[in-house]
């Protein structure tokens, strides 16, 4: 029971929500709220159990199914600018520790895993790209964004602009409008950058990242070290990279010494970007790009035409109700890839949907191997890069499954 008076409105929640919060998960769903005092959308509120126990303080979202996102379990916290600056510093110091020289292009803020629920901030060289998916973070961004840029610049990081990629439908579930554009940092003496293009180097490969029009915030940073693992296996091999997007796995394989790399994507625009990236890195002689549907292409290929196949599909499911169909899609492409590979060939396969759990993904792979009549010799089981940290009490932060196999 809390003794001192509190300034925040009170939300009383079900025993189920109380147990979940006590176990470390930060979300309270709308149907778990038994009683709520009036409050503004995006404001702070205290969460209490039916028995009167204080469970934490969180940000309220009146239009979302996730009604409260708890961000503090310390009753003494004061939610002023200093509080948020400390959180930003904590997130940045973690990235410096785990990413080393790769902090020049990495995820700096990863939502709940950094206790900034609904906020993503990625760094691409001199530009930051941010996405705000909760009304609480939307209200706080005018505190957070200048403080983050100030902190990074004070630490010797050359940051020249922050682009908001809020052009996602998820915002509408929070009652927020979709938009994208530069965040005004003129108060810090920074003019608007002249271009949304950033130039980065990852694993020795140079890319042009478009923070205005690229996927998500501009680039997929989470596979950074998985690409390096592919490069280490690629020497002397003939590689097929499926769902290549802008060619990152294909480029790593080519740079790693592959004899030939075929990069496939259904989007001609993605293939055009992959070709430009190959040219920029002097890899055009090894890497070719094909605009095709992977599901239609794989059945036309002959066994042994490639001895290393990479499957990096988009999330086939973004909801639990479509998981079964998604697993069928994953199984189809994995079975076909396993049948195409010669004995001793290599397969890199992954899923970026947290709805497809590790257990379900592995079960699917075992079924695909049985259908293909092969055995899988596991080389590595990997996950997202550590700038996308996994919080064990928040399973939603654990989403990327990546496996390297030899087919025997």
Predicted pLDDT of residue 4: 59
Residue 276 in any domain: the answer is yes
- 312-330: buried (b, 16+ CB within 10 Å) or exposed (e) per residue? bbeebbeeeeebeebbeeb
Are 227 and 340 in a shared domain? yes
Residue 181 in any domain: the answer is yes
Domain harbouring 41, CATH code? 2.30.130.10
Q: Cα–Cα–Cα angle for 125, 128, 132, nearest 5°?
A: 155
Pairing mode, if any, of strands 27-29 and 66-72?
A: antiparallel
177 contacts: CB under 8 Å, gap ≥ 6: 166, 171
Domain boundary among 72, 97, 119: 72
Residue 145 in any domain: the answer is yes
Q: Which residues share a beta bridge with 201?
A: 206
* DSSP H helical ranges for 73-159: 81-99, 135-154
Are 143 and 187 in a shared domain? yes
Beta strands in 86-232 (DSSP E): 105-110, 119-124, 127-132, 161-166, 179-182, 197-202, 205-210
Are 90 and 52 in a shared domain? no
Mean residue pLDDT of the chain comes to 94
Are 186 and 239 in a shared domain? no
Residue 213 in any domain: the answer is no
Are 181 and 228 in a shared domain? no
Domain boundary among 72, 96, 116: 72
In whole angstroms, what is the distance from residue 206 CA to residue 400 CA? 24
Residue 151 in any domain: the answer is yes
- 315 and 351 in contact (C-beta within 8 Å)? yes
Which candidate, 229, 395, 218, 404, places its Cα nearest to that of 320? Answer: 395
In whole angstroms, what is the distance from residue 283 CA to residue 35 CA? 61
Predicted pLDDT of residue 5: 65
pTM beyond 0.75: the answer is yes
Predicted pLDDT of residue 279: 96
Are 180 and 249 in a shared domain? no
In whole angstroms, what is the distance from residue 396 CA to residue 408 CA? 34
H/E stretch holding 241: strand 238-242
Predicted pLDDT of residue 316: 72
Residue 5 in any domain: the answer is no
Are 290 and 160 in a shared domain? no
**Phi, psi for 108 (deg, rounded to 5):** -95, -35
In whole angstroms, what is the distance from residue 128 CA to residue 100 CA? 18
Are 188 and 39 in a shared domain? no
Are 279 and 391 in a shared domain? yes
Q: Which structural domain range is residue 44 located in?
A: 10-72
Predicted pLDDT of residue 2: 53
In the block, which residue shows the tokens 């510093």?
89
Tally of structural domains, the chain: 3
Pairing mode, if any, of strands 161-166 and 127-132?
A: parallel
Are 87 and 43 in a shared domain? no
Predicted pLDDT of residue 6: 81
Which one from 106, 242, 289, 352 is the annotated catalytic residue?
Answer: 352
In sequence order, what DSSP letters do the residues of 26-95 get, joined into one string?
A: -EEEGGGEEEE----TT-EEEEEETTS-EEEEEEE-TTSSEEEEEEE--TT---SHHHHHHHHHHHHHHH
Domain harbouring 151, CATH code? 3.30.750.80
Residues (pLDDT < 70) of the chain are 1-5, 317-319
Does the active-site annotation cover 352?
yes
Which candidate, 299, 315, 112, places its Cα nearest to that of 215? Answer: 315
Domain harbouring 244, CATH code? 3.40.50.150
Domain boundary among 21, 47, 72: 72
């Amino acid at each position: 029971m809390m003794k001192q008076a509190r300034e925040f409105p009170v939300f009383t929640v079900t025993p189920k929500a109380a147990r979940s919060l006590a176990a470390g998960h930060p979300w309270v769903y709308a149907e778990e709220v038994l009683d709520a005092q009036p409050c503004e959308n995006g404001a702070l509120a205290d969460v209490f159990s039916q028995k009167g126990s204080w469970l934490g303080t969180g940000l309220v979202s009146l239009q979302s199914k996730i009604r409260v996102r708890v961000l503090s379990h310390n009753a003494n916290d004061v939610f002023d600018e200093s509080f948020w600056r400390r959180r930003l510093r904590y997130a940045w110091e973690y990235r410096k520790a785990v990413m080393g020289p790769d902090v020049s292009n990495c995820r700096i803020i990863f939502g709940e895993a950094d206790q900034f629920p609904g906020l993503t901030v990625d760094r691409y060289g001199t530009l930051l790209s941010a996405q705000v998916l909760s009304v609480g973070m939307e209200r706080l961004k005018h505190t957070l964004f200048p403080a983050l840029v100030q902190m990074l610049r004070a630490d010797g990081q050359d940051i020249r602009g922050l682009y908001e990629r809020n052009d996602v439908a998820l915002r509408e579930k929070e009652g927020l409008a979709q938009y994208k554009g530069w965040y005004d940092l003129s108060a810090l003496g920074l003019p608007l950058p002249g271009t949304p293009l950033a130039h980065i180097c990852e694993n020795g490969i140079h890319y042009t990242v478009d923070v205005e029009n690229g996927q998500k915030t501009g680039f997929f940073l989470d596979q950074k070290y998985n690409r390096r693992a592919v490069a280490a296996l690629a020497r002397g091999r003939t590689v097929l990279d499926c769902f290549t997007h802008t060619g990152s796995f294909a480029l790593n394989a080519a740079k790693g010494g592959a004899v030939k790399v075929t990069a496939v994507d259904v989007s001609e625009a993605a293939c055009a970007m992959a070709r430009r990236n190959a040219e920029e890195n002097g890899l055009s002689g090894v890497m070719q790009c094909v605009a095709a549907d992977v599901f239609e292409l794989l059945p036309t290929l002959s066994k042994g035409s490639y001895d290393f196949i990479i499957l990096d599909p988009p999330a086939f499911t973004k909801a639990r109700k479509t998981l079964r169909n998604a697993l069928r899609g994953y199984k189809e492409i994995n079975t076909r890839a396993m049948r195409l590979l010669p004995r001793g060939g290599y397969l890199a396969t992954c899923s970026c949907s947290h709805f497809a759990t590790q257990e379900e993904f592995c079960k699917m792979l075992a079924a695909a191997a049985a259908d293909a009549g092969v055995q899988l010799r596991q080389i590595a089981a990997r996950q997202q890069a550590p700038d996308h940290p996994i919080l064990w009490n928040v399973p939603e932060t654990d989403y990327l499954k990546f496996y390297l196999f030899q087919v025997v």
